[in-house]
Amino acid sequence: MAPTTLSADVLVIGFGKGGKMAAHGLADAGQRVVLVERSANMYGGTCPNVGCVPTKMLVHYATARHLKDDAQEYFADSVEGVRALTSAFRAGNFASLDGKPTATVLTGTARFTDPHTVTVGEGDDRVTVTAPTILLNTGSAPVIPPIPGLATSEHLVSSTELTQATALPERLVVVGGGYLGLEFASIYQHFGTHVTVLEAAAELLPREDDDIAATAREILEGDGVRIITGAKVTKVVDRGAVARVEYEQDGETHSVEAGALLPATGRRPVTDDLHLDAAGVKTAANGAIEVDEYLRTSRPHIYALGDVNGGPQFTYVSLDDSRIVLDQLLGQGERSTADRVAVPRTLFITPPLATVGLSEREAREQGLNFTVAREKVADIVAMPRAYTVEETRGLMKFVIDADTDLILGAALLSIDAQEVINTVALAIRHHITATELRSSIYTHPSTTEAFNEVFGKVTPGH
């Protein structure tokens, strides 16, 4: 029978990327680590179980489908492939940490009873864990907007359910045209579902420059996704096999039918069950745990990593959080969130949109003296890879400081953008000029060699 009390050097609550990597580093350094994860289905966190890995695997399957493939059968086989991989990752995550001599993984909900103590589980199975240092890595959860009829609709689905259900819906309505919504719209349209995206903003991807957003919309609509902007969803009414989704646009009421309805309007930090008040840990109005640049909470011995601290909701940011905390606990204590420069992000539609740094609009708003290098993928002679994989849609765009020739930002809507953007980000961090990138030697055929041409297509900023 498991002991009812455990003492650790470090207690980690949540098996996400940041908590996992910190736990490994601390255990390898000889510290006694206890990691608590409330669900056996979430060893390893959101990314390998219900986030990055399954969705990007579905992107791969969806774009590999042939028209002769039966849509339902192909989709079911694809989901089984996803399940096999995520199950293997989940088991590997558990074994690799719990198998360490100084690490223990507990499954159950952790609740603070004082600043150094939590209980895990209920009744006779309850375990009390005490530790002088605690790391919180409980992640985030989808937000269901307060639309009448939405929360109780039988056709409501979460992103998690969409990565696990084997039945392909005939019609999917996505509420919200952000990263999550557009990724699922693109995936399911390629699988054969009729997809409608309802976006409240006047334009799609309002954070991006108009030319990038327009090109992304053109690609999605070209694939068959129906996109309705300026659409405020007002009501959901179940009608047997479908839900009627009502929305207002330009003062008029419209509706669309959905066999499945996905709210994609954001995520919130998961802190509800932690009893943070017992630990004296302060949170913001949205539930995010307040931290300083070293990720210390209002209790200096408690750190918050990943989505739960309200920072950018990316797995690789959570990974960097673990580096900051490990430097605090095992290193010199110098690394901080202030060190982050040129953090890229990718929207995994097909082809993907990857961005880093400033957009043209932002550079103009800041009054910078800049130029723009831009070219449609189909026109880039130096990049035959786009033709060899039969994906010539998209646009490459760079914002360049006119005085220093340094790159201020980039938006790559193209094949391999999720890889190429990392080279651009590295160039920004290490002050590599646009001329150096243009004049460098790249393998052929590759997407990176587009630099040889696109950086020559420079126009003044305006």
Q: Which residues are catalytic?
A: 444
Q: Where are the alpha helices (DSSP H) in 165-232?
A: 179-191, 210-222
Task: State yes or no: 177 annotated in a binding site.
Answer: yes
Task: State yes or no: 208 annotated in a binding site.
Answer: no
Cα–Cα distance measured from residue 76 to residue 435, given in angstroms and rounded to the nearest whole number: 49
Cα–Cα distance measured from residue 317 to residue 391, given in angstroms and rounded to the nearest whole number: 30
Task: State yes or no: 181 annotated in a binding site.
Answer: yes
The DSSP symbol for 356 reads: E
Q: Closest by alpha carbon to 350, among 285, 268, 407, 417?
A: 417
Whether the CB-CB separation of 344 and 350 falls below 8 Å is answered with no
Task: State yes or no: 140 annotated in a binding site.
Answer: yes
Task: State yes or no: 259 annotated in a binding site.
Answer: no
Task: State yes or no: 273 annotated in a binding site.
Answer: no
Task: State yes or no: 266 annotated in a binding site.
Answer: yes
Task: State yes or no: 367 annotated in a binding site.
Answer: no
Whether the CB-CB separation of 378 and 354 falls below 8 Å is answered with no
The DSSP symbol for 72 reads: H
CA separation, residue 204 to residues 185, 212, 312 (Å): 13, 10, 20
How do 110-114 and 117-120 pair as beta strands? antiparallel
Q: Closest by alpha carbon to 111, among 99, 128, 124?
A: 128
CA separation, residue 427 to residues 108, 390, 408, 437, 450 (Å): 44, 28, 10, 8, 15
Task: State yes or no: 176 annotated in a binding site.
Answer: yes
Task: State yes or no: 199 annotated in a binding site.
Answer: yes
Task: State yes or no: 17 annotated in a binding site.
Answer: no
Task: State yes or no: 179 annotated in a binding site.
Answer: yes
3-class state of residue 110 by DSSP: strand
Task: State yes or no: 456 annotated in a binding site.
Answer: no
Cα–Cα distance measured from residue 113 to residue 106, given in angstroms and rounded to the nearest whole number: 17
Task: State yes or no: 73 annotated in a binding site.
Answer: no
Instruction: Tell me if the bond preceding 115 is cis, omega within 30° of 0.
Output: no
Q: Closest by alpha carbon to 190, among 221, 224, 217, 167?
A: 224
Task: State yes or no: 192 annotated in a binding site.
Answer: no
Q: Point out the annotated binding site for FAD.
A: 56, 138-140, 307
Q: Point out the annotated binding site.
A: 56, 138-140, 176-183, 199, 266, 307
Q: Point out the annotated binding site for NAD(+).
A: 176-183, 199, 266
